[in-house]
Structure 1
Amino acid sequence: MSALNDRIKEAMKDAMRAKEKARLSTIRLVLSAIKQVEVDTRTELDDTAILAILDKMVKQRRESIKQYEDAGRQELADVEQAEIEVLQEFLPKPLTDDEIADLIDQAISSTGAESIKDMGKVMGILKPQLQGRADMGQVSGKIKSRLG
């Protein structure tokens, strides 16, 4: 059993006791997404896989916020932002830009990457280190600018 999964289940119980409907709803969405992947893959997920799910859920909500704001629906964007805040409770502390730059430097030097063709090697090393701690789209852009 994953420690992160246990933490999420405890948070669900706490939200139920405190009658925090919005928080409870978001936590249930997380547990449902985890369960769905476990059923589909017929495996029990570890913390890394759960972090990937959480990361994906945050990314989806950021995209929704942008669309809602573009459509002038701020109340819906606010709901998505509240969900992001709940999801981020279970993600590790985000890395600073300097920490990300250092990890990129280490990955480039350890793989001997010299051009964009080597990007996959660099991302392969960085992804497990950065999962849930950085926006992988932004990291990808930084790697491209370094190798380009």
Structure 2
Amino acid sequence: MNLSGMPQADLQSINVDVPGNGYYPALSTAHFIEHYAIAQEYASKSDVLLEKLLYAQAEINQELANTQLTNGQTLSAAQALFYKRAVYSKAKASLLVSKLGSTHRDSATAQSQAAIDNHEHWLRESINAMRQLQGLSPNLTVELL
């Protein structure tokens, strides 16, 4: 069941894996649906979820392009956790903005305000996860003046 109390679609039948590049971990639409309370209207559209995940993944990878998180090894378990949180949160925020355009005009004001608040929340979650991930880098140093 999802948060609305409605039965959820079979996650395995709609699961699409988003491969990592060997350095960053792989993602999955089933994990995204289950752990980030994706609305049923999007949960059954694996192509929409895949698009949002790929876009978020590309944005996060671009933001991390100049950050050396490890010394040529794969990410640690904690780093992988924060990486996934950053990508999934950014994708969730993107889905919430998409939902703003699909609401009916009579209830759009209240729904759009709630969605904007949620959108900002999920963007903050993504940024916080990025900061945590970057904070785990063994290459960060502080120089005393």
Structure 1 length-normalised TM:
0.29
